[in-house]
Amino acid sequence: MATSNVPELAAGKLPDLPEAGFYLPNFITKEQEEYILSEIARLPEARWAVLTHRRLLSLPSQLTGPAKDKLIDAPMPAFLTKIILDKFKELHIFDDSAHGAPNHCLVNEYQPGQGIMPHEDGPAYFPITATISLAAHTVLNIYKKNEQGEREAAPIWRILQERRSLLLTTGSMYKDTLHGIFDLEQDTDLQSGSIANWQLLGDKSSFENGTANRQTRVSLTYRDVLKVAKIGSALKFMSKK
């Protein structure tokens, strides 16, 4: 990712974090946010996978194959690409990835009190994750691994993701850390000493009393799946099983 010649990205470099984490507030406009949310709301309920702590849409589809690392070639819906992919291109975010653009998006919806367990994004994807937050903020916890490669108990950094912001994780932040969201109704201790991107926030005034109630948040997580199968070869593979 050519960060040095993209001033807008370089300005969003997360201080103190391992090489290659970036935060850009107001990445999309209110109108764009509203449009994407309204298109998501039009999708049939049955498309959502309802999980214990959130619901999830995998677009264009879930990964398949024994290692769950293969994408059946299909376009993402236009409402996920129309505005966003041009913006990624302007910032050269996926220039070096396997397909030069993301081909997959996870849409996660969290109610207040819901979150996601610490995890790694893993080897199915080119190591760049671009997450846009819609409708509400959250706080993402970043965990280091110890010498045995296990997750440390407590997060070492907290990233406050405002609505309409973009968070990029690449490089060693992608490979060597885990991330998760606590299942809380309210985030506390929101201040410069404990939030890694405090200086980069678009509107600190919303968080200045140090707490923020969670509201329903939708996140768009864009990635480039490395292995893409044409429908014909995927069917052949399935019929062999």
Ligand X SMILES: O=C(O)CCC(=O)C(=O)O
The footprint of ligand X (CB under 6 A) covers 106, 108, 116, 121, 131, 140, 179, 219, 221
Q: Judged by CB, which is closer to ligand X: 179, or 214?
A: 179
Q: Judged by CB, which is closer to ligand X: 76, or 140?
A: 140
Q: State the nearest-atom distance from the C-beta of 193 to ligand X, in Å.
A: 23
Q: State the nearest-atom distance from the C-beta of 241 to ligand X, in Å.
A: 27
Other Cβ atoms less than 10 A from the Cβ of 130: the count is: 25
Indicate left, alpha or beta for 223 from its phi (over 0: left) and psi (-120 to 50: alpha): beta
Q: State the nearest-atom distance from the C-beta of 240 to ligand X, in Å.
A: 30
Sign of CA dihedral 63, 67, 69, 71: negative
Indicate left, alpha or beta for 221 from its phi (over 0: left) and psi (-120 to 50: alpha): beta
- By beta carbon distance, the residue nearest ligand X is 219
Q: Judged by CB, which is closer to ligand X: 152, or 231?
A: 152
Question: 84 and 222 in contact (C-beta within 8 Å)?
Answer: yes
Q: State the nearest-atom distance from the C-beta of 221 to ligand X, in Å.
A: 4
What is the greatest pairwise CA distance in the chain? 59
Kindly state the helix (H) or strand (E) to which residue 87 belongs, with its residue range: helix 84-90
Q: Judged by CB, which is closer to ligand X: 70, or 179?
A: 179
Q: State the nearest-atom distance from the C-beta of 100 to ligand X, in Å.
A: 22
Task: Give the integer Cα–Cα distance in Å for 173 and 143.
Answer: 10
The position carrying tokens 């440390």 is 152
Q: State the nearest-atom distance from the C-beta of 232 to ligand X, in Å.
A: 29
Task: Give the integer Cα–Cα distance in Å for 62 and 72.
Answer: 9
Q: State the nearest-atom distance from the C-beta of 96 to ligand X, in Å.
A: 21
Kindly state the helix (H) or strand (E) to which residue 140 belongs, with its residue range: strand 138-144
Task: Give the integer Cα–Cα distance in Å for 162 and 205.
Answer: 12
Q: Judged by CB, which is closer to ligand X: 3, or 141?
A: 141
Q: Judged by CB, which is closer to ligand X: 106, or 237?
A: 106
Q: Judged by CB, which is closer to ligand X: 164, or 179?
A: 179
Question: 4 and 109 in contact (C-beta within 8 Å)?
Answer: no
